[in-house]
Amino acid sequence: MSISNNSFAAIVAIFSLLLLPSMQCHAQLSSTFYDRTCPNALNTIRTSVRQAVSRERRMAASLIRLHFHDCFVQGCDASILLDETPTIVSEKTALPNLGSVRGYGIIEDAKRELEKTCPGVVSCADILAVAARDASTLVGGPSWTVKLGRRDSTTASHTLAETDLPGPFDPLTRLISGFANKGLNTRDMVALSGAHSIGQAQCFLFRDRIYSNESDIDAGFASTRRRQCPQEDQNGNLAPLDLVTPNQLDNNYFKNLRQRKGLLQSDQVLLSGGSTDDIVLEYSNSPRAFASDFAAAMIRMGDISPLTGSNGIIRTVCGAIN
């Protein structure tokens, strides 16, 4: 069977279109994106993050989480930073974010400094991605090369923030499927859960677990946590997700799981006789394996549905549309 030149060209064009969506984010994001247009961008962001973490070490965890909560809703487009307006229902007021997501001001500080030297160039979405990397390194976690070139959304989705973000009570199957829906595999999910090596959780998120008397929680650990988390009231009381090295991004989180000392149900479920047990054991034994996989997973997470090219905008202020 012979194919005419015109037919062949049409087939190639169709094939190219089929490939385009999956290739787009990888083809258009680049670690050198601002080298000519804003050469000091990364240093400017790093300075803002360093100052924030030196004031409050917990902020490192908050900045990593902020990037994560952005990427899981509409992709890595800084939609989480948009404030409420008559036309925008903010993601900030969605249940997984309300009263717990922090660090908005740090991103605005970095953006304000960038607008002085390269106005209208660096996106808020990219600031979030770089800030998460810098936060990791400042608390002993791994570094990685951040791909850049994301643009900012003009919309937010309160609804998706309510449905797409993993929750502290989720069973393992739901955690795995939720990450898979974003293009992240089970190993990525376990590695990213290791971010709970730093940061704190509010009492109401782990109360049921520490008063459950279930076999999957160490009795002494539960007793210690009850001191700051009574059965009623004081919902906002904080406890470190990792009691041993609460301000160090390391593999202690996985060692804690082996001792049944995961603070959240969604932590301990990673070592509960299921498909993720072997990964948890590997990370608990190898700080290097965890650090390497965490960095790789953060890069893949930063690739979730970015706006590039002519899509989206570069916001002048991260909390508002220009």
Catalytic residue among 26, 67, 69, 158: 69
Cβ within 8 Å of residue 228, ≥6 positions away:
203, 234, 237, 238, 239
Cα gap 124→65, rounded to integer Å? 15
250 marked ligand binding residue: yes
Instruction: Supply the DSSP string of 105-134, one letter for each residue.
Output: HHHHHHHHHHHHHSTTTS-HHHHHHHHHHH
* Residue 322 near residue 313, CB atoms below 8 Å: yes
316 marked ligand binding residue: no
70 marked ligand binding residue: yes
Which residue's entry shows tokens 């937010």? 156
Cα gap 213→207, rounded to integer Å? 11
Cα gap 315→59, rounded to integer Å? 24
158 marked ligand binding residue: no
Q: How far is CA 165 from CA 40, 92, 97, in A?
A: 33, 13, 9
188 marked ligand binding residue: no
109 marked ligand binding residue: no
* Residue 130 near residue 150, CB atoms below 8 Å: no
287 marked ligand binding residue: no
* Residue 239 near residue 200, CB atoms below 8 Å: yes
190 marked ligand binding residue: no
- 69 included as an active-site residue: yes
159 marked ligand binding residue: no
67 marked ligand binding residue: no
90 marked ligand binding residue: no
Residues that are catalytic? 69
Query: Which residue positions form the known binding site?
Result: 70, 73, 75, 77, 79, 91, 166, 196, 242, 245, 250
Query: Which residue positions form the known binding site for substrate?
Result: 166
Query: Which residue positions form the known binding site for heme b?
Result: 196
